[in-house]
Amino acid sequence: MQSFKLLFVIDSLGTGGAEHTLAERLPHLARFNITPIVVSLRHRRDGVQQDLQRQGFDVRILNATGLLSQVLALRKIIRNERPDLIRTVLFHADLAGRLAAIGSRTRLVSSLVNTDYAEVRRSDPNFNQIKFQLARLLDSWTARYLTTHLHANSNAVRAAAIRDLRLLAENVTVIEEAREPKRLGQPSPERRRRARLQLGLHEHQKVIVNVARQDYQKGHRYLLEAIGTLLLAYPQLVLLVAGRTGDVSQDLERLHRQLGLGKHVIFLGHRTDVPEILAAADLFVFPSLYEGLPGAVIEAMALGLPIVATDIDPVRETVQEGRNAILVKPASATELAKAIAQLLGDQETSFAFAQRSREIFAERFTLERGLEREIELYHQVLSLP
């Protein structure tokens, strides 16, 4: 197989899904004769940065601030390293990488991992119309004219990018998210007992887990409201929320107090032991308002959990409604509560959903399957005239 040098450019090596996806793939690239270099636009204390550096990967953190400085620093790296292929991930890295590659003749692939221009974003209290339109204009122009090819992590993301960025359909290839089964491990009664013990939970408690940063996009508010309506029927109910603080953290803390949720909702913050948290759960709930392809749902399925989630295209594409998941209208605490109660009160259906979740993960979302398609795309791009 042809060997080549691959330059990854990413916003940061923090705690997000795109960062973990990159980190999980890097150790496997050597067997495909690929030499990776990773450039992060920003330093991160939490996340995968230090772990990748400890593993000995060539990780470079730009000291540049501002787009122009980042572009110039990247151009120097491209000139010195002469990579065969550049792959950019996330908005700021996309812009900096695309502009830096001008004139280098190096092929560039950008990854599309979210429905960034979904209309629902306009309901975010922090929404800025001018920034939104400017970002879409820059993203669209550089994607169309400075990018060799684009990779989307779901059909929903591909369709949104073609519509919102006015991309040619033939220039966008879908490769689904994937996860390493060995890292996630197998569910078992013993692992569940041990995980609950470590988290200070009892065997008789009903445990719901959500994994997401605390941003408007993730819809935590509706999940907390749903939990508040369920406590009378399920006094032993506990919700674990794993994920770093974000732009709605203070609002969530205030809502938590107003609803009197107390120890029924535990904000765990950023965690490096997400598989063990999932292993302790009875149910995974995902109330996001918009997504790319939900990696957290994929990991929950790998741990054999039934799913309750919002009925948005990327989630519908990931799960099988009525077989391993119940999907509900977005931004509806009432429907979330009803679906949660349905699965908590029906052990037979919950068990069947859990089994099907494991099967779907094995059929579609293992790292080996995703890597094969990714490497194939790289070689296709490199062979373009």
Cα–Cα distance between 2 and 34 in angstroms, integer?
9
Q: Give how far Cα 355 sits from Cα of 82, 149, 359, Å.
A: 48, 37, 7
Say which CATH number the domain at 172 has: 3.40.50.2000
Is the Cβ–Cβ distance between 15 and 213 less than 8 Å? yes
> What are the φ and ψ backbone dihedral angles of 268, each rounded to 5 degrees?
-85, -15
Residue 351: which residues within 8 A CB-CB, separation 6 or more?
none
- Strands 265-269 and 237-242, how do they pair? parallel
pLDDT of residue 1: 64
The DSSP annotation for 144-183 comes to HHS-SEEEESSHHHHHHHHHHS---GGGEEE----B-HHH
Number of domains in the chain: 2
Positions of the chain with pLDDT lower than 50, given as ranges: none
Q: Are residues 74 and 137 in the same domain?
A: yes
| Residue 172 and residue 197 in one domain | no
Residues 194 and 260 in one domain: yes
pLDDT at 310: 98
Residue 370 and residue 360 share a domain: no
User: Would you state the pLDDT for residue 45?
Assistant: 85
Enter the DSSP assignment of 209.
E
**Could you tell me if 268 and 373 lie in one domain?**
no
Q: Are residues 287 and 166 in the same domain?
A: no
Q: Count the neighbouring beta carbons within 10 Å of the beta carbon of residue 9.
A: 30
Q: Are residues 223 and 267 in the same domain?
A: yes
- Tell me the C-alpha distance between 350 and 323, whole Å: 10
Distance CA 120, CA 24 (A): 31
What is the pTM assigned to this prediction?
A: 0.94
In DSSP terms, 109 is beta-bridged to 87, 149
Residue with tokens 């077989």: 323
Characterize the bridge pairing of strands 85-89 and 4-12: parallel
Tell whether 72 and 208 lie within a shared domain: no
Distance CA 160, CA 183 (A): 31
Q: How far is residue 148's CA from residue 217's CA, in Å, rounded to a whole number?
A: 30
Q: What is the pLDDT of residue 385?
A: 81
**CB contact at 8 A, 127 and 116:** no
218/81 same-domain check? no
Closest by CA position to 115, among listed 160, 176, 165? 160
> Distance between CA atoms of 384 and 121, rounded to whole angstroms?
37
Residues in the chain: 385
Indicate if 285 and 372 belong to the same structural domain.
Answer: no
DSSP string covering 247-297, please? TTHHHHHHHHHHTT-GGGEEEEES-S-HHHHHHT-SEEEE--SS-SS-HHH
Token couple for 327: 């999907």
Claim to verify: residue 76 and residue 172 sit in the same structural domain: yes
Query: If you write DSSP's letter for every residue of 321-374 in order, what string do you get?
Result: BTTTEEEE-TT-HHHHHHHHHHHHT-HHHHHHHHHHHHHHHHHH-BHHHHHHHH
DSSP 95-109: HHHHHHTTTT--EEE
Q: Which domain holds residue 343?
A: 181-364
Predicted pLDDT of residue 56: 96
CA distances from 62 to 12, 66, 74, 260 (A): 10, 11, 8, 45
Distance of CA 15 to CAs 18, 151, 243, 288, Å? 9, 21, 8, 18
pLDDT score, position 64: 85
Same domain, 145 and 106: yes
Q: Which residues pair with 36 in a beta bridge?
A: 6
How far is the C-alpha of 379 from the C-alpha of 317, rounded, in Å? Answer: 27
